Amino acid sequence: MAMTIHVDIVSAEASIYSGLAEFVVVPAEMGEVGIYPRHAPMISRIKPGSVRIKKPDQADEDLIYVSGGILEVQPGVVTILSDTAIRGADLDEARVLEAKREAEEAMKNRTSAMDYAKAQAELAEAVAQLAAIQKLRKRIH
């Protein structure tokens, strides 16, 4: 039997792939890398593209699309930490601006200064309401 390496592709939201492979090709940032079992430990950023996985005892390769992320290689395990969104300095910058704009909009209708007393009063009211409901429930039973 040919030597195999374990391949895990995980994203922050879900586990995408897990299994054994004879050979893996990953679109790293500096160019495609082919990984055979017992590869030296390596870390690299990856570009959006497809990961090709040659499974043992199977003629065709599995293709999995990743939208970028980080590749970690250990002699027996390849881990791909896949991004769930397409990333890039410009894109992230745009997201930051969008988030700031939204926050500014939200800030427009804020009341003057920090008002802890009011906030606490509001919360105390909510707590009191909950307590009242609890009491009511006990009385009914």
Partner 1 sequence: MAAGKEIRTKIKSVENTRKITKAMEMVAASKMRKAQERMKMARPYAEKIARVAAHFSQAHPEYRHPFVVARDQIKRVGLIVVTTDKGLCGALNTNALRNSVSKMKEWDSQGIGVDVTVVGNKGLGFMQRMGASIVSQAAGMGDTPHLERLIGPVQVMLDAYKEGRIDALYIIYSRFINTMKQESTFTQLLPLTAEAAMEKTEHHWDYIYEPEAKSVVDSMMVRYMEALIYQAVAENLACEQSARMVAMKAASDNAKSVIEELKLVYNKTRQAAITKELSEIVAGAAAV
- Interface with partner 1 by CB under 8 A: which residues? 8, 10-15, 28-30, 40-45, 69-70, 72-73, 79, 81, 83-85, 87, 92, 95-100, 102-103, 106-107, 109-116, 118-120, 122-123, 126-127, 130, 137, 140-141
CB of 65 to partner 1, least distance (A): 16
Decide whether 47 or 56 has the Cβ nearer to partner 1. Answer: 47
Buried b (16+ CB within 10 A) or exposed e, 120-133: eeeeeeeeeeeeee
Residue 87 CB partners (closer than 8 Å, separation 6+): 67, 68
CB of 133 to partner 1, least distance (A): 8
CB of 49 to partner 1, least distance (A): 15
**Element at 68 (helix H, strand E):** strand 61-73
d(Cα 69, Cα 79) in Å, to the nearest integer?
Answer: 11
Decide whether 2 or 91 has the Cβ nearer to partner 1. Answer: 91
Decide whether 29 or 58 has the Cβ nearer to partner 1. Answer: 29
CB of 72 to partner 1, least distance (A): 6
